[in-house]
Structure 1
Amino acid sequence: MNSSNTNNGQSNNGKSSRLDGINRDLGLYFLELSRLRSSAAPTEMEEDEEEAPKELNTINSSGGFLVVAPDKLSVKYTTVNLHGHDVGVVQANKPAPVKRLLYYFEIYVKDAGAKGQIAIGFTNEGFKMRRQPGVHVNFGQKKFAFDLKEYEAQERLKRQMTIEKISLPPNISYGLVRSYLLHYGYEDTLNSFDLASKSTIPPVYIAQENGFDEQDIGYALNQRKILRQLIRNGEIDAAISKLRDWYPQIVQDDKSATCFLLHCQKFIEFVRVGALEEAVKYGRIELAKFFRLAGFDDLVQDCVALLAYEHPQESCVGYLLEESQRDLVADTVNAMILSTNPNTQDMEGCLQSYLERLLRQLTACCLERRSANGEQGEAFLLRRVL
């Protein structure tokens, strides 16, 4: 993007050069998001990826003092105890997982012996295997004697009830939702939302002290709505044409990240409808300019790879054909338009709505709290919370 063409760029007493420098980076932010979509592992499985014990460890034990059953779930002390250190010890094959709301296992004492000297507990990896064992164990292969799922549900309910006891004025949550609709250009939904809020008893109004600058996030609302609808419908040529008419400075640099994402999406739309010959021609003209260009090369290759599959939706690059990819391109254009507002001072505000920044803060606080607890406890997954 040519910074000299930014709207009213010469009227900000030298501030325009700093802002324009940031403007050029907004598209790169969304380009990185697109790259992460192709390479990031699913975060929803984080909790389940931590391995839990499944059997007893037959390698690291106190050897001849005990016998482990073939199922590796039962252990028997077989030696006559002549000294205090004549003990049999066995550990589980994995440490107890810590990235959970709770972890549970069961041990059944089948025969405590004459003196009942059996110990059950947690040990570290270097524990000396000359201490007392317990230990038939159940790591979940059989139904637990204790109703673990009910207990976990009760714990989650307690936590949710604690959250729901926190009272917020209606205009705060209303303002957050309204700012989200304004930020992303959902004009029709916004009008319906406003109409519904006026019919509540009492009507909901945004207090000025809430800090929402509606004038900035409401900038070019109708135009942003039209462009979002065009991109989400796959009408990329029409979207580019509108941008050239309304905001030529955004698409003036044909090798910008914003233009790159638009060209990629046009290529993807050809593939989506099976127009592979047109996709090849378009790719040779528009995508070839980005080939071997730092920061763009990997996504160019992903786009071109769509041509190699008979069913590209099912391939490793099928993510490009998802609706979320259209949304990402629409978000890029939306942010770039917001950045052309001459009154904009917070460029980060062009990237995300107040609601999203609040959720980022929530995530950061939960991660920090977990870190302070030695990384123990259930992992915070925003999607599951929402």
Structure 2
Amino acid sequence: MTSNDRSSPSYWEKGSGSRGNSRHLEVTGQRVKYIGPGSADKDAACVRANTYVPPSQAIYYFEVQIVSKGRDGYIGVGFCTADVNMDRLPGWEPQSYGYHGDDGNAFRSDGKGRRYGPTFGTGDVIGSLLNRAEQTIAYFKNGIDLGTAFIGVAEEKLYPCVGMQTHEEEVLANFGDAPFKADVDSMRVEAARRLEAQIRQTELPGRGKVGSLMAEMIFDYMVHNSYFESAAVVARDLLDGAVEVSPKDRDEVRLRAGVAEALIAGHIEDAMSTAERVAPGVLQAHPSILFRLHCQKFMELVRQRDDEAAMAFGRSVLVKAASTGEDQELLQDALSLLGYNDPASSPCGNLLGTKVREDLAKLLIAAILKHTGRREQSAMERIGCQLETSLGTLLSLGDPRISLIDNAGPGNALKY
């Protein structure tokens, strides 16, 4: 099982040293061997991967097998930015991080390491985990988690890197082409769970005697979508009876539903009269919708093959009602239906389909809600739309936490 996508690092970049010590490394694909003099710190050399870890990738992991620890095992594994001095071991320079095999210390931005984990040498496999969601770096030895080594890791473009300093040191990287020693899937799941726990710790404001904000939103959603019995249960059990479904709410919701049902069924006059009953003046306030309703009445006559009535209605109402360029275009398409023996198979036959009536019903209901001072969606549905938009914005900005949220599934809000 691999952890990385196609844009992730895949091999070591030859000659990535910033000065001359890159000649001390023999680099072949994922393999690196130290061939320099190895007599002092000035002989150290580091190599980085061919590309940086994608900033939007929440969990990135790679492993390095220690083929040979060489003379002294001065091998460092970690991450660095592109402008780091590569004639130093990982972690010895600003914006670089390293875990070193000779002493087990963790180094960050200077040559003074701190005690972190065990030493490592020939045959060991060292894994490096970059967790962008939590801005941490952790290491694994032979698949065993050694814990967090660095926190506050905020650099946007970090490259996997490895450094060496003494004779015959040699490593072989695994950037995801082969199974890892560590369980990367579990790392993602645990990271998602921690993020979920963090989100759940966010407290919504209480609303006194009325009850919780969430319960109010559930009640509003139930009423808005005609689930009156369920709304009554929510009001009773979650809101202590502080609110109720009023007869007016029931009547308005049912009438709006009746408008949509009549229109979709092709009973245009019934839909229009009910719309005026629910929201007097709504059709005159939305002339484009009124014209589309007239067109739909015309098309219902065509669908019923009452061509004489359709032509009469077209001459007396439609032609006179078209006032905009969009109206004229729809009028021409509608009138063209009369020129075919089988209007449904004509180029504009889609106008006779159910989807056209369904779309018009949505427009009319939205106009009714606006005309009566109500919102088209319940508060919960609006929040859902806002959340989706926010996630899209964060995704476009490359926020790595979105990859943990975006793979959510039922039963686990942040399952990867």
**CA distance in 1: counterparts of 2:87 and 2:180, whole angstroms:** 29
Alignment partner of 1:121 out of 63, 78, 81: 78
Kindly indicate whether the alpha-carbon contact (under 8 Å) linking 2:256 and 2:365 is maintained by their aligned counterparts in 1. yes
1:95 aligns with 2:52: yes
Q: Which residue of 2 aligns with 1:333?
A: 364
- Counterpart AA for 2:187: Y
- The correspondence of residues 62-141 of structure 1 with structure 2, limited to 5 A, is 63-69=22-28, 72-81=29-38, 84-132=41-89, 133-134=162-163, 136-141=172-177
* 2:195 aligned with 1:154: no
Kindly provide the CA deviation profile for residues 151-207 of structure 1, in whole angstroms up to 9, marking residues without a partner as x.
Answer: 322333344456667798986544322312333xx32xx134246659xxx844465
Per-residue deviation, 1:220: 2.0
Aligned to 2:272: 243
CA–CA distance in structure 2, aligned partners of residues 266 and 74 of structure 1 = 74
**Aligned mate of 1:55, from 11, 24, 30:** 11
Cα distance, 1:54–1:246 mapped onto 2, change above 3 Å? same
Larger Rg: 2
Q: After TM superposition, give the deviation of residue 147 of structure 1 in Å.
A: 1.1
With CA pairs under 8 Å and 6+ residues apart, which has the higher RCO, 1 or 2? 1
Task: Say if 1:363 and 1:382, in contact at 8 Å, map to a contact too.
Answer: no
TM-score, normalised relative to structure 1: 0.53
Summarize deviations over 1:340-380 as a string: whole Å, max 9, x none: 22xx3xxxx51331113344565688899x79x99453355
Aligned CA distance change for structure 1 residues 216 and 115 (closer, same or farther; 3 Å): farther
**Residue in 2 aligned with 1:354?**
379
**Secondary structure, in 3 states, of the residue corresponding to 1:105?**
strand
Shift of 1:322: 11
Give distance in 2, aligned partners of 1:49 and 1:207: 53
Q: Is the 2:10–2:50 contact (alpha carbons within 8 Å) kept by the matching residues of 1? A: yes
1:64-122 deviations in whole A, cap 9, x for unaligned?
A: 332222xx222222333356444433212221233344322222222222122222222
Taking a change above 3 Å as real, the CA distance of residues 126 and 218 of structure 1, as seen in their structure-2 partners, is farther
Q: Give 2:222's aligned residue.
A: 181
Instruction: Count residues in correspondence.
Output: 280
Is the 2:222–2:231 Cα contact (8 Å) retained in structure 1?
no
Once residues 189 and 326 of structure 2 are traced to their aligned partners in structure 1, the CA distance between those partners, rounded to angstroms, is 52
Task: Work out the CA distance in 2 between the residues paired with 1:226 and 1:50.
Answer: 53
More helix by share: 1
Aligned partners of 2:259 and 2:275 also within 8 Å: no
TM (normalized to structure 2)? 0.49
Answer yes or no: is the 8 Å Cα contact 1:217–1:338 preserved in 2.
no
The CA deviation at 1:225 is 1.3
Q: Is residue 142 from structure 1 mapped to residue 178 from structure 2 by the alignment?
A: yes
> What is the rounded CA distance, in whole Å, between the counterparts of 2:272 and 2:241 in structure 1?
35
Structure 2 runs not aligned, ≥5 long? 90-161, 164-170, 304-310, 312-317, 330-352
- In 2, the alpha carbon distance for the partners of 1:203 and 1:144 equals 51
Deviates more, 1:167-176 or 1:52-61: 167-176
Partners of 1:230 and 1:238 within 8 A in 2? yes
What percent of counterpart residues are identical? 21
- Quote the offset at 1:217 in angstroms: 6.7
SS in 2 for 1:110: strand
Hey, what's the Cα distance between the residues in 2 that align with 1:266 and 1:66? 80
The structure carrying a bigger strand percent of its residues is 2
Q: Aligned with 2:48: secondary structure?
A: strand
Q: Distance in 2 between matches of 1:263 and 1:93?
A: 64
Aligned AA for 1:179?
D
Which sits farther off after the overlay, 328-337 or 123-132? 328-337
1:56–1:265 Cα change, 3 Å? farther
- Give SS of 1:96's match: coil
In structure 2, how many angstroms separate the alpha carbons of the residues matched to 1:266 and 1:58? 73
**Contact 1:110 1:136 (8 Å CA) reproduced:** yes
